[in-house]
Structure 1
Amino acid sequence: MTRFLFLAAFLFALSSTSQQLKSPSEFLGYELGTEFTRHHEVVDYYEYLAEAAPDRIKLTVYGQTNERRPLLLAYVSSPDNIANLETIRQEHLKSTKGGGNSEKAIVWLSYNVHGNESVSTEASMKTIYELLTSKGSYLENTVVIMDPCVNPDGRDRYSNWYNQYKNTPHQLDPNSKEHNEGWWNGRSNHYMFDLNRDWAWLTQVESQQRIKKFNDWLPHVHVDFHEQGVDNPYYFAPAAEPYHEVITDFQRDFQITLGKNHAKYFDANGWFYFTKEVFDLFYPSYGDTFPIYNGSIGMTYEQGGSGRAGLGIITGIGDTLTLKDRIAHHFTTGLSTVEVSSQNAKKLNEEFKKFYQNQNFKYKSYVLKGNKDKLDALKSLLEKHEIQFGDLSSGSYKGHAYGSGSNGNVSIDKNGMVVSTNQPKGTLVQVLFEPNAKLTDSLTYDITAWSLPYAYGLEAIASTSLVAPQNNGDVTPKSMIDPDSYAYLTDWNSLKDAKFLAELIKKGIRVRKTDHPFSIEGKSFERGTLIITKGDNAHDPNFVRKLQTISATYQKEIVSTRTGFVDSGKDFGSSYVQMIAEPKIAVLSGGPTSTLRFGEIWHFFEQQLYYPVTVIDDDYAKRVDLAKYTILILPDGRYGNYFNEDQLSELKDWVRKGGKIIAMGGAISALDGEKGFGIKTKEKEKETEQTHIPLPYEDAEREQIKDAITGAVFKTKVDNTHPLAYGYGTDYFTLKLGSSSYDYLDGGNAVYIEDSTKPFSGFAGSKAQKKISKSLIYGSEQFGRGQVIYMVDNPLFRGFWENGKLFFANALFMVN
Structure 2
Amino acid sequence: MKRFLLVALLGLLSVPGWTQIQSPSEFLGYPLGSQFTYHHRVVAYYEHVAANSDRVKLEYYGQTNERRPLLVAYITSPENHGNLESIQADNVKRSMVEEADSRKAIVWLSYNVHGNEASATEASLLTLYTLASTQDVDQVAWLNNSVVVMDPCINPDGRDRYANWYNQIGGFAANANPDAWEHNEPWPGGRPNHYLFDLNRDWAWQTQVESQTRMALYQKWMPHVHVDFHEQFINSPYYFAPAAEPFHDLITDFQRDFQTRIGQNHARYFDEEGWLYFTREVFDLLYPSYGDTYPTFNGSIGMTYEQAGHGMAGLSIDNEGKDTLTLLERLTHHHTTGLSTIEVSSKNADELIDNFGKFFQDQAKGVGSKYKTYVVPAKDQMTKGNALIDFLKIHNIDYWIATGNKNVEGFSYRTNRNEKFTVREGDLIVPANQPRGGLVRALFEPNTQLSTPITYDITAWSLPYVYGLNAYAVESTMSAPGTRQNKRMSTGVEVPPFNPDAPYGYILAWEDLRDAQVLAGWLNAGLQVRFSEMAFTQGGYDYPAGSIIVLRSDNPDFPGDAFGMAVQKPLKEHRRVARETKTGWVVRGKDFGSGSVKVLTPPRIAILGGDGTASLSHGETWYFFEQVLGYPITRINTDDAGGVDWSTYDVVILPEGGYWGLFSDGGADALKTWIRQGGTAIAMGRAAGALARQDGFGLERKDSDSDEEEDEDEAYRDRLRRYADQESEFVKGFNPGSIYEVTLDNTHPLAFGYGDKYFTLKTGSQAFEYMENGWNVGYIEGDGKPRAGYVGEKLHDQLSESLVLGVEPMGGGAVVYFVDNPLFRAFWRSGHLMVANATFFVNKD
For normalisation by structure 2, the TM-score amounts to 0.92
Distance 1:662 1:397 in 2: 43
Tell me which moved more, 282-291 or 751-760. Answer: 751-760
Aligned to 2:50: 50
Partners of 2:810 and 2:504 in 1: CA distance: 35
Structure-2 separation of matches of 1:473 and 1:723: 30
- Partners of 2:783 and 2:480 lie apart in 1 by 36
Report the residue type matching 2:552 in the other structure. K
Residues 382 and 489 in structure 2, CA contact (< 8 A), matched pair in contact too: no
Distance change in 2, residues 1:462/1:667 (3 Å): same
Distance 1:317 1:371 in 2: 58
Q: What's the counterpart of residue 528 of structure 2?
A: 510
Equivalent position of 1:498 in the other structure: 516
2:120 matched to which residue of 1? Answer: 120
What's the counterpart of residue 660 of structure 2?
Answer: 640
Query: How big is the shift at 1:72?
Result: 0.8
Q: Aligned AA for 1:424?
A: P
Shift of residue 500, structure 1, vs aligned partner: 0.2
Could you tell me whether the CA contact under 8 Å between 1:363 and 1:465 is conserved in 2?
yes
Q: Which moved more, 1:414-423 or 1:68-77?
A: 414-423
Which of residues 742, 746, 753 in structure 2 aligns to 1:720? 746
Alignment counterpart, residue 521 of structure 1, candidates 539, 551, 572: 539
Alpha-carbon contact 1:117-1:187 (below 8 Å) kept: yes
Tell me which of 306, 328, 337 is aligned to 1:333.
Answer: 337
1:552 aligns with 2:562: no
Counterpart of 1:194? 198
Asked whether the equivalents of residues 174 and 313 of structure 1 are also in contact (C-alpha less than 8 Å), the reply is: yes
Residue 482 (structure 1) shift: 6.2
Mapped to 2, the partners of 1:513 and 1:143 lie a distance apart of 58
Structure 1 residues 754-765: aligned runs within 5 Å: 754-765=781-792
Select 1:564's aligned residue among 561, 570, 584: 584
Q: 1:477 to 1:224 in 2, by over 3 A?
A: farther
Query: Residue in 1 aligned with 2:724?
Result: 698
Give unmatched runs, 5+ long, in structure 1: 1-15
- Give the Cα separation in 2 of the matches to 1:631 and 1:57: 53
Q: Which amino acid aligns with 2:783?
A: S
Q: Measure how far apart 1:88 and its partner are.
A: 1.2
Q: Could you list the structure 1 runs, at least 4 aligned residues long, displaced by more than 4 angstroms after superposition.
A: 412-415, 469-477
**Residue-by-residue CA offset, 1:519-558 (whole Å, 9 max, x unaligned):** 2233322111111122211343122221133322322222
The CA distance in 2 between the partners of 1:782 and 1:146, in whole Å, is 55
Structure 1 contact 479–556 (Cα < 8 Å) conserved: no
Shift of 1:94: 2.7
1:620 matched residue in structure 2:
640
Q: Report the Cα distance in structure 2 between the residues aligned to 1:275 and 1:388, rounded to whole angstroms.
A: 36
Aligned to 2:222: 218
Q: Which deviations, in whole Å up to 9, do the C-alpha atoms of 1:571-624 show, x marking residues without a partner?
A: 111111111111100000001100001000011011100110100001211100
Shift of 1:681: 1.1
Quote how far apart the aligned CAs of 1:311 are.
Answer: 0.6
Q: Does 1:363 align with 2:371?
A: yes
1:35 lines up with 2:60 in the alignment: no
Which of 767, 779, 795 matches 1:752?
A: 779
SS of the residue 1:620 aligns to: helix
8 Å contact kept, 2:121–2:152: yes
C-alpha deviation, 1:362, in angstroms: 1.8
SS state of the match for residue 642, structure 1?
Answer: helix
Distance 1:117 1:563, change over 3 A: same
- Aligned partners of 2:619, 2:73: CA distance in 1, in Å? 30
The range that moved more, 305-314 or 93-102, is: 93-102
2-structure distance, mates of 1:413, 1:656: 51
2:461 alignment partner in structure 1: 450
Deviation, 1:640, is: 3.3
Choose from 346, 350, 354 the match for 2:354: 350
CA 1:230–1:368: 2 relative to 1, 3 Å: same
Partner of 1:663: 683
Instruction: Determine if contact 2:502/2:564 at 8 Å carries over to the other structure.
Output: no
- SS of 2:549's partner is strand
Question: What is the deviation of 1:380?
Answer: 1.1
User: How many residue pairs get matched?
Assistant: 801
Letter of the 1:730 partner, please give it.
D
8 A contact 1:417–1:469 mirrored in 2: no
Q: 1:168 to 1:535 in 2, by over 3 A?
A: same
Q: Which structure 2 residues correspond to residues 65-76 of structure 1 after superposition, within 5 A?
A: 65-76=64-75
1:741 matched to 2:767: yes
CA contact (8 A) 2:242 2:260 kept: yes
Kept after mapping to 2: 8 A contact 1:778/1:789: yes
Which residue of 2 is the match for residue 78 of structure 1? 77
Structure 2 partner of 1:590: 610
Structure 1 residue 374 corresponds to structure 2 residue 384: yes
Aligned to 1:9: none
TM-score between both structures, scaled by the size of structure 1: 0.96
SS of equivalent to 1:778: strand
> Does the CA-based 8 Å contact 1:367-1:397 persist in structure 2?
no
Q: Secondary structure at the match of 2:359?
A: helix
Q: Distance in 1 between matches of 2:44 and 2:665?
A: 55
What amino acid is aligned across from residue 808 of structure 1 in structure 2? Answer: V
The whole-number CA distance in structure 1 between the counterparts of 2:785 and 2:746 is 23
Partners of 1:438 and 1:109 in 2: CA distance: 29
Match of 2:623 in 1: 603
Give the conservation status (yes or no) of the 8 Å contact 1:119–1:326: yes
Higher mean C-alpha displacement, 442-451 vs 534-543: 534-543
User: What does residue 803 of structure 2 align with?
Assistant: 776
The reply to whether residue 678 of structure 1 matches residue 698 of structure 2 is: yes
Q: 1:322 maps to what in 2? A: 326
Q: Alignment partner for residue 398 of structure 2, among 370, 375, 388?
A: 388
Distance 1:409 1:638 in 2: 47
Structure 2 partner of 1:630:
650
User: How far, CA to CA, are the matches of 1:749 and 1:409 in structure 2?
Assistant: 33
Contact 1:112–1:151 (8 Å) recurs in 2: yes
Question: Which stretch of the first structure deviates more once superposed, 100-109 or 72-81?
Answer: 100-109
Are 2:248 and 1:244 aligned?
yes
1:652-691: CA deviations, max 9, x gaps? 2211121100011111223225511211111233451346
- Farther off after superposition, 217-226 or 557-566: 557-566
User: Separation in 1 of the partners of 2:263 and 2:506?
Assistant: 65
**Distance in 1, Cα, partners of 2:86 & 2:211:** 26
Could you say what secondary structure the match of 2:622 adopts? helix
**CA deviation after TM superposition for structure 1 residue 488, in Å:** 1.5
